[in-house]
Amino acid sequence: MELDKMDENDWKYHGEGNKSLVVSHVQHSRVLRLLKYPSQDAEHTQQRTEQAYRHIHSIVDFSKNVMKPLLGEAYVHSGEVVNLPLEFVRHLSLKVQQERPELRCDKVMDTFSGYALCLPNLTHLNARHFGDHRLPLCVEIKPKCGFLPFSGHVTKECKRKVCRFCMHQHYKLANGKWKRQSRYCPLDLFSGNKQRMYIAIKHLLEEPQNNFKIFKGGQLIFSCTDGAEQQPDLSALAQQLRPHFTHSTGLYKGHLSAKAVLNEFIQVVSSALLSSWNCSRTGEPKKAHPAEGRGYCEASPVHRDLHRNGTNGLSKDSVLGRILQAQMLDNLDIEGIYPLYKRVEQYLEEFPKERSRLQLDGPYNDSFLEWVKNCPEEDDGSVEYAIGKVHQYRVAMTAKDCSVMITLAPCEEDEVLESNLEIQPSKPRLTYSVSILDLDPKPYDAIPYQHKLDSKIVNYYVRSTHSKQ
């Protein structure tokens, strides 16, 4: 990419979240991820530019030095910081404005600093697929927190029975964030049990909200729509997916019903989520410790019988296993973290210069990772313990908010594949690759907000479900 020859016509709107806007190159498999600000703070000052510079570097450092070692080299692409010509950024911002969904327009793209992240476009697959006319598919899942808190600090009984996502749904519906309730429950997705995972993914299809998207040939073909009151059109989706799920070998050839296409699609996605990079080398995949006894959410629509016999466990090296282990670094719950945050704050009042040694705002380097890894088990009353736990909590927060990208591409009959890249040899032949994106650090200063939000969500849930009984 030649930074002095950037042309906005080479880039198109790709998507956005709450913190950043992404554009993709029309030819090369690259994206630019630009920061966003609330529109009222979009005033240009030198200080803001410096802030953006530091922020974007801290994003790369956190992803590369902290999350990547925890989640696995194979899954994480941290990208690099680029300094774009301001004129290009301004033209780009005008160009993408009309494509932005209304629900995201409370923020504006940063057109002042020129800093952005350049990343591989994960909706494309790197492997060549020899002349196949079928475009690659990419499924993006934002799985959210996959376990129930097990901390002794939890005060509300319902937090041990109903997962955060399911409780949060009630709160979001009441506040008008979404019009329809999602029946997705992360605990089913993270169960490692194929039947429960199937149901979880089916619920994502029925109500994607911001947890589920599908791209075809790099284009978004399925996601939530602005203010959607109706169920998404699943038969139109099946139509789009059908070419990839038509058997070319096996007993029958040809047309599958919409239901059968979606069925196969869900199975392929869950196989990719369960697969491990090195299970073929090490034999039996290692099972992650998780979830036993705390892997069931009472609000999940999955039938209780499935819950009872349903902990197959995830392989530790599967993408979901890795994410869950990082999430479970939050082993005190926000209710246990908040007093430790206050301990740190009190210490800083006395020794404000310690803020940098304690790495509260980074730098996110190897020594930050050491804080996370070497935190003592027992609270000895020290500020070091408090810091270790706070850092662990922040890593877990990032892992609760990341997205998984699964890219699927058809492969030819005679293509020679590494066996672990091939899903279901008797089924439609697809190669896949799995990555994790959106691994930004969550600010230390957000802990009091998280603490308040937690009690709002729980209190609302308790009130609203009790009044119905």
Binding region for ligand ATP (CB under 6 A): 14-20, 22, 31, 33, 119-123, 140, 213, 401, 403, 437-438, 440
Q: Which CB sits closer to Zn ion, 91 or 161?
A: 161
Q: Which among Zn ion, ligand ATP, Mg ion, none contacts residue 163 (Cβ within 5 to 8 A by kind)?
A: Zn ion
Tokens (6 digits) for 125: 């697959």
Count of residues of this chain found to bind Mg ion when the rule CB under 5 A is applied: 4
Q: Which among ligand ATP, Zn ion, Mg ion, none contacts residue 431 (Cβ within 5 to 8 A by kind)?
A: none
CA distance 452 to 171: 13
CA distance 434 to 138: 10
CB of 387 to ligand ATP, least distance (A): 25
Which residues does residue 404 pair with via DSSP β-bridges, in sequence order?
141, 436
Q: Are 461 and 172 in contact (CB under 8 A)?
A: no
CB of 446 to Mg ion, least distance (A): 13
Q: Is 321 in the site for Mg ion (CB under 5 A)?
A: no
Task: Please name the residues in contact with 275: beta carbons below 8 A apart, sequence gap of 6 or more.
Answer: 315, 318, 420, 423, 434
CB of 403 to Mg ion, least distance (A): 5
Among 110, 140, 438, 454, binds Mg ion (CB under 5 A): 438
Q: Is 310 in the site for Mg ion (CB under 5 A)?
A: no
Q: Which residues bind Zn ion (CB under 5 A)?
A: 163, 166, 185, 297, 299-300
Q: Which among Zn ion, Mg ion, ligand ATP, none contacts residue 166 (Cβ within 5 to 8 A by kind)?
A: Zn ion
Q: Which among Mg ion, Zn ion, ligand ATP, none contacts residue 262 (Cβ within 5 to 8 A by kind)?
A: none
Q: Which CB sits closer to Zn ion, 185 or 261?
A: 185
CA distance 404 to 92: 27
Q: Which CB sits closer to Mg ion, 440 or 454?
A: 440
CA dihedral 333, 392, 323, 171 (to 10 degrees): 40
C-alpha gyration radius of the chain: 23
If DSSP codes are grouped into helix, strand and coil, which group holds residue 455?
Answer: helix
Task: Please name the residues in contact with 230: beta carbons below 8 A apart, sequence gap of 6 or more.
Answer: none
Q: Are strands 219-222 and 137-141 parallel, antiparallel or unpaired?
A: unpaired
Q: Which among Zn ion, Mg ion, ligand ATP, none contacts residue 33 (Cβ within 5 to 8 A by kind)?
A: ligand ATP
CB of 38 to ligand ATP, least distance (A): 13
Q: Each residue of 231-269: b (16+ CB within 10 Å) or e?
A: ebebeebbeebbbbbbbeeeeeeeebeeeebbbbbbbbb
Q: Which among ligand ATP, Mg ion, Zn ion, none contacts residue 223 (Cβ within 5 to 8 A by kind)?
A: none
CA distance 271 to 287: 16
Q: Which among Zn ion, Mg ion, ligand ATP, none contacts residue 121 (Cβ within 5 to 8 A by kind)?
A: ligand ATP
Q: Which CB sits closer to ligand ATP, 119 or 326?
A: 119
Widest Cα–Cα separation across the chain: 75
Question: Helix H segments across 98-139?
Answer: none
CB of 163 to ligand ATP, least distance (A): 19
CA dihedral 2, 43, 104, 82 (to 10 degrees): 20
Tokens (6 digits) for 261: 């296409």
Q: Which among Zn ion, Mg ion, ligand ATP, none contacts residue 22 (Cβ within 5 to 8 A by kind)?
A: ligand ATP
CB of 17 to Mg ion, least distance (A): 4
CB of 251 to ligand ATP, least distance (A): 37
Q: Is 140 in the site for Mg ion (CB under 5 A)?
A: no
Q: Which among ligand ATP, Zn ion, Mg ion, none contacts residue 243 (Cβ within 5 to 8 A by kind)?
A: none
Q: Which among Zn ion, ligand ATP, Mg ion, none contacts residue 134 (Cβ within 5 to 8 A by kind)?
A: none
Find the part of the chain contacting Mg ion (CB under 5 A) among 22-30, 76-84, 293-301, 439-447. 439-447
Q: Is 17 in the site for Mg ion (CB under 5 A)?
A: yes
Q: Which among ligand ATP, Mg ion, Zn ion, none contacts residue 297 (Cβ within 5 to 8 A by kind)?
A: Zn ion
188 by Cβ neighbours in 10 Å (0-12 / 13-18 / 19+) ranks as: buried
CB of 140 to Mg ion, least distance (A): 9
Find the part of the chain contacting Mg ion (CB under 5 A) among 58-66, 160-168, 315-323, 432-440. 432-440
CB of 212 to ligand ATP, least distance (A): 10
Find the part of the chain contacting Mg ion (CB under 5 A) among 14-22, 95-103, 174-182, 288-296. 14-22
Q: Are 390 and 340 in contact (CB under 8 A)?
A: yes
Q: What is the DSSP string of 319-338?
A: HHHHHHHHHTT--SHHHHHH
CB of 366 to Zn ion, least distance (A): 36
- Angle value at C-alpha 391, between 435 and 273, nearest 5 degrees: 20
| Residues at the site binding Mg ion, with contacts judged by CB under 5 A | 17, 19, 438, 440
